[in-house]
Structure 1
Amino acid sequence: MASKVTPTSLGIFTTKPKFPNYAIPTKRLESFTESSTPWPDASHIDVNELVSAGLVYSGVGDAVRCYHCGGGLKHWEIGDDPMYEHARWFPTCPHIVICKGKDYVEKARLGEQPSISKQKEKVNQSDEQESSISRQETAMEAAAEFGYHMDWIRIAARIYSEREGPNSQFQASDLMSILMEMEDDPSMAINYTAGSGSCCVTEQSQDSPSNGLETDLEALQEENQNLKDKQNCKICLECFADVIFLPCGHIVTCPQCAHANSQCPICRKDILGLVKCQFADFSEKDDDGVYKTSNH
């Protein structure tokens, strides 16, 4: 016999937090920083990680409780991940499921630890990327010392990337060579203005018609920022809003702030359930040809 379909099985969460006053991350943080009994200095656990995991300080030792499910955790050890431990011991907590997804919670429930080798690989990749970015920035700064506007230097970097491949690494001499080409043929810069912004060659050329294009660039940057602001959580104003309020369907908050409202701030309708969005990543498919989803 097929199992009964419930809202929770469909990814719809209707339960309310046991401690709604701590539904907002900043309030949970205050429980650690403004408690009459301070969070123990000897603890090796990052307070911000505890807050992200939905945990509130009890004021006793290193004991914490979840604002939503009420589950308690204590006796933290070096290397413990608050989000993982929360999911491991309280796998039905809506805060954890909304923030991390069912797959993460199920693996934690089964005691499956993240692969250390994969973690090291990610760290090495991150270090390599940061080093590469630093070298590129140094090359661009060197070109700027010759009086070239940074906008034109960025266009030169794009041209180099298109010529040599997206993973190519340029040096200052490479940028200088392209910048001199652009001085001889200004139309090269105009062709890239729509994608990377307008510019002027040197300080002496600021009275050129490119000033109008710079105004267009500022307008585009402002429009881009406005679009980003619209996608951000309306409570913390920092994280990506990807939780749907039911039944109104508005997307207003991030997972961390999703349980802080009983009514939708947009239409004032009562919130009867929450659903986490899964945005398709049209730039990447899995092995079965299915578009992947982006987790924010």
Structure 2
Amino acid sequence: MATPSKQKHDTAKPTPASLGISTMKPKFQQYALPSKRHESFTEASVPWPKTSPVKVEDLVAAGLVYTGVGDSVRCYHCGGGLRNWETGDDPMEQHAKWYPTCQHVLITKGKTYIHCVEAGENPEHLSEQRPKVKQSSPDDLAFQQQQEAMQAAAEFGYSDESIRIAAGLFRERKGASSKFKGSDLVSILMEMEDDPDLALNADVLDSRSPATPLDQTESADDDLQSLVFENERLKASFNCKICLDNRADVIFLPCGHIVSCPQCAPALDLCPVCRKSIMGLVKAQFANTRIDVENDYGECDA
């Protein structure tokens, strides 16, 4: 009796790299952290050429380490070398162009970025394809920055009233339209602790609108402070737990935790949350966060 033959599937099984998953460990693990790569340029026995047309910060972000010879650099992850830099060269693009399988480029920029570079497309145009968001007015941004500075000072344990007095003192010294930072307020607050008379002579009306009743102002300040605090808490929850600077958008496999940014993730062998071995990394793409030109990319028109 004839029996049906097994159907042969021509579709090849996708590789982890084709799915945007990094599974390879760096060749030079000691340079996995950006700070260590930066030291290779700043603390080398043979200085990095001052006439180089590319910035050290861009080379570090591209995963490149200084070899100490001319302008030659090498990737900490794939080991690929690059040299003879010219004006207009983008280290990340050149890295992706000559070493498209590098896991650092894959996890930092994503496979779409690599495909665009290979196709000769300018990856910078990808950010232009993202939907536009409503931009805040300069006045709104300035107000938000001032409130964030006051919140930063509040984290040192100072009262709202003391912070408003410090803001008033800052404007008395620098001008009514001057913008302060959290460090400026903390510096003045420390002066106030040493000299209590400063607070007595300060004009705190600058930090309020004179046309607004006091009780309404205090109520609005409390509400605003609560919103600012919640906003800072949410932003901090998305920060990389290693550098505390960049956004955490790398998924550890197989545990699935999101702990670090693409720059810090390769330096880890164990997940800091569950302590399980990290077998792979994949870059997360958040659909409901603000536009990030450096990290979020659309489809390439190749």
User: TM class by shorter-chain length?
Assistant: 0.5 to 0.7
Please state if 1:31 is matched with 2:32. Answer: no
For the residue of structure 2 that corresponds to 1:211, the secondary structure is helix
Residue in structure 1 matched with residue 121 of structure 2 by the alignment: 112
**Superposed displacement of residue 227, structure 1:** 1.1
The aligned amino acid for 1:212 is S
> What is the distance in 1 between the residues matched to 2:92 and 2:212?
56
Identity of aligned residues (%): 55
> What is the distance in 2 between the residues matched to 1:228 and 1:238?
10
Deviations 1:44-87 (A, max 9, x none): 11110001100000011000000100000001111111000000
Residue in structure 2 matched with residue 245 of structure 1 by the alignment: 252
Residues 273, 136 of structure 1: alpha-carbon distance in 2 compared, 3 angstrom cutoff:
closer
| Mapping 1:36-47, distance limit 5 Å | 36-47=45-56
Deviations 1:245-282 (A, max 9, x none): 01111101111111010001111111111111111249
Residue in structure 1 matched with residue 213 of structure 2 by the alignment: 205
Residues 283, 79 of structure 1: alpha-carbon distance in 2 compared, 3 angstrom cutoff:
closer
Please state if 1:80 is matched with 2:89. Answer: yes
The aligned amino acid for 1:61 is G
RCO (CA 8 Å, sep 6+): is it higher in 1 or 2? 2
Please say if residues 49 and 82 of structure 1, whose CA atoms lie closer than 8 Å, have aligned partners that are also in contact. Answer: yes
Residues 204, 279 of structure 1: alpha-carbon distance in 2 compared, 3 angstrom cutoff:
closer
The aligned amino acid for 2:246 is C
**Superposed displacement of residue 218, structure 1:** 1.1
The aligned amino acid for 2:105 is I
**Superposed displacement of residue 136, structure 1:** 9.4
| Mapping 1:57-206, distance limit 5 Å | 57-113=66-122, 133=138, 201-202=209-210, 205-206=213-214
**Superposed displacement of residue 112, structure 1:** 3.3
Please say if residues 242 and 253 of structure 1, whose CA atoms lie closer than 8 Å, have aligned partners that are also in contact. Answer: yes
Deviations 1:78-137 (A, max 9, x none): 11110000000000011101111112111222333458xx69x99xxxxxx89x748997
Residues 108, 23 of structure 1: alpha-carbon distance in 2 compared, 3 angstrom cutoff:
same
Please say if residues 88 and 110 of structure 1, whose CA atoms lie closer than 8 Å, have aligned partners that are also in contact. Answer: no
Residue in structure 2 matched with residue 263 of structure 1 by the alignment: 270
Moved over 6 A (4+): 134-137
Aligned residues: 217
Please say if residues 239 and 260 of structure 2, whose CA atoms lie closer than 8 Å, have aligned partners that are also in contact. Answer: yes
> What is the distance in 1 between the residues matched to 2:208 and 2:28?
57
Residue in structure 2 matched with residue 295 of structure 1 by the alignment: 296
Residue in structure 1 matched with residue 181 of structure 2 by the alignment: none
Please say if residues 57 and 63 of structure 1, whose CA atoms lie closer than 8 Å, have aligned partners that are also in contact. Answer: yes
Question: Unaligned 5+ residue runs, structure 1?
Answer: 123-128, 138-198, 285-293
Question: Unaligned 5+ residue runs, structure 2?
Answer: 1-9, 130-134, 143-206, 298-302
The aligned amino acid for 1:53 is A
**Superposed displacement of residue 226, structure 1:** 1.1
Please say if residues 20 and 110 of structure 2, whose CA atoms lie closer than 8 Å, have aligned partners that are also in contact. Answer: no
Please say if residues 233 and 254 of structure 1, whose CA atoms lie closer than 8 Å, have aligned partners that are also in contact. Answer: yes
Residue in structure 1 matched with residue 25 of structure 2 by the alignment: 16
The aligned amino acid for 2:107 is I
| TM-score between the two structures when normalised by the length of structure 2 | 0.64
For the residue of structure 1 that corresponds to 2:259, the secondary structure is strand
The aligned amino acid for 1:232 is N
Residues 64, 251 of structure 1: alpha-carbon distance in 2 compared, 3 angstrom cutoff:
same
Deviations 1:195-214 (A, max 9, x none): xxxx96417733x2441332
Residue in structure 1 matched with residue 62 of structure 2 by the alignment: 53
**Superposed displacement of residue 9, structure 1:** 2.4
Residues 134, 78 of structure 1: alpha-carbon distance in 2 compared, 3 angstrom cutoff:
farther
Residues 215, 101 of structure 1: alpha-carbon distance in 2 compared, 3 angstrom cutoff:
same
| TM-score between the two structures when normalised by the length of structure 1 | 0.66
Please state if 1:280 is matched with 2:287. Answer: yes
